[in-house]
Chain A
């Protein structure tokens, strides 16, 4: 059974600081996704990573994938308050069928 673990689960940081969220998964992945969720809202797609060494950046967020280590990271640069949300990684793996297996989420709070 595919397992996806994120850490930390809760992250409180000051504006202007950098931090990294980690996502480990237990079997081979075909695609790895990062989503953002605001309270009471649906999931907003941030990145999809397809291959080993993939790196994608959008604004202050950068995601990377190491398929050998079964690890993805979401790096936040110079955080601003608008980034406060819950971030999920999700793995789409043929070994578990065509479905997304989500991590528990990282609740990020950026303080002024």
Chain B
């Protein structure tokens, strides 16, 4: 059974650029949630995808968008990057809408300069 994998592990972007982060869900999981964790804070919910549809969104602007593919992997896209977008981005996969708990990936560390 493979776990949740995220790519890339680290990246540095310039303010105003766009970035795409990727997440492969654990085998058998059809729900993917994305979280942003700023330094020294708890993770904040960005949005969740269930069976390729967005299923709930946190308090993030529209320049944060996502996709889920038929194999249940997912992408997080952030447009017009701001310095405050620098954070650890965590992906979590689960069975039906969190049933059975959440498995987190190792995260992508994004630095915006």
Do A and B interact? Answer: yes
Of A45, A48, A103, the contact of B42 (CB 8 Å cutoff): A103
B48 at the interface (CB under 8 A from A): yes
Decide if the interface of chain A is mainly helix, strand, loop or mixed.
strand
Q: Produce 1/0 per residue, A74-105, CB < 8 A to B.
A: 00000000000000101010000111111111
B97 at the interface (CB under 8 A from A): yes
Distance between Cα atoms of A33 and B103 in the complex (Å)? 12
B interface size (C-beta, 8 A): 25
Q: Are A105 and B41 in contact (CB under 8 A)?
A: yes
A interface size (C-beta, 8 A): 22
A54 at the interface (CB under 8 A from B): no
A41 at the interface (CB under 8 A from B): yes
Interface residues of A (CB under 8 A from B): 4, 31, 33, 35, 40-43, 45, 48, 88, 90, 92, 97-105
Interface residues of B (CB under 8 A from A): 31, 33, 35, 41-45, 48, 50, 55-56, 58, 90, 92, 97-98, 101-107, 109
Besides A42-B90, A104-B41, 18 more A-B contacts (Cβ < 8 Å) are A41-B107, A42-B106, A42-B107, A88-B43, A90-B42, A92-B98, A97-B55, A97-B56, A98-B48, A98-B50, A98-B97, A98-B98, A99-B45, A100-B43, A102-B42, A102-B43, A102-B44, A103-B42
